[in-house]
Structure formats: C-alpha cells, structure tokens
Amino acid sequence: MDEKKFSIDMREILSGEVGKLYKYKLSGHLSSEDEIKYISPVIVKLDIVNIDKTINAKGNIETEIELICSRCGRGFNRHIDLQFERIFEEDLDADDVLSSDGIVDFEPIVREEIILSLPIQILCKKNCRGLLR
C-alpha cells in the first residue's frame, strides 16, 4: 500500500530559489472516513512557492464522493472541485507547521478541506422532503 501518495518533500524547495514556482500533481485513492465515501481517485494539483522560509501552497482538489442525505438517508454523489491555500511555517505556533524533515503530507489537509466545503446540513437536493410514508 502506498501511504505517502500525498506527501511532498519540501527540502529542495526550501533550499531553492525564493519565489520559484513548483508544480505538482498528486493522485490516489482515499479510504472512506468521516462519513465520506471516496468513489473516485482524488486529484490534487499544487502550486508551491518558497517565500523566505515559509512555504505557500495553492491547490485544487478534485474528486467524486458519496454522501448520505441527513433528511432521507439516501446516498448520493457529489463532485468536488475546490481551491485552497495553506502557508507552512517552521514556527510551531503556526496553523500549518513545517516539520524539520521537510515532509508535508497533504492527505489530512485534503480531507479537512473537503469537509469544510460541505454544508452543515447535507441534503441530496435542496427540497428533499425526507422519507415519505
């Protein structure tokens, strides 16, 4: 099993030219978690720039997930296509800490961004009337 499919080694970028753009495309399957079922591979495109000891990552996440409607309990598919931006710093108080090995695993970030993109109440359609009896 390839567990590191969403990891990027930032050491080369950190020791490289400030402001240089590095492009990455990562993809792989994610196991289902947090009531989200991933039904197609997750594709993550990243634009990464070293801004003087911090790493700025702008990304795009694309995949297809299956959700459960909170009103009628039916499963339905949703296409995910979202943008995100993260700044990794060596400062331990930062939101996204750049660990000393320079490896950033984007998998938990991808999962978090997908969850954040979902509405609080998950409905299969706006006017879902629930289970009709």
- Part in contact with Zn ion (CB under 5 A); list of ranges 23-31, 82-90, 97-105, 122-130: 122-130
Task: Tell me the pairing of strands 21-28 and 7-9.
Answer: unpaired
Size of the site for Zn ion (CB under 5 A): 5
78: contact with Zn ion by CB under 5 A: no
Q: Which of 14, 43, 49, 69 binds Zn ion (CB under 5 A)?
A: 69
- Part in contact with Zn ion (CB under 5 A); list of ranges 2-10, 32-40, 96-104, 117-125: 117-125
Q: Which of 5, 45, 58, 71 binds Zn ion (CB under 5 A)?
A: 71
Indicate the residue type of 117: S
Place of tokens 């993809």: 27
The DSSP secondary structure of 58-91, one letter per residue, reads: EEEEEEEEEEE-TTT--EEEEEEEEEEEEEEESS
Q: Which tokens in the block code for residue 61?
A: 């996440």
- Part in contact with Zn ion (CB under 5 A); list of ranges 35-43, 84-92, 113-121, 123-131: 123-131
Residue 124 DSSP symbol: S
Strand partners, 79: 64
Residues that bind Zn ion (CB under 5 A): 69, 71-72, 124, 128
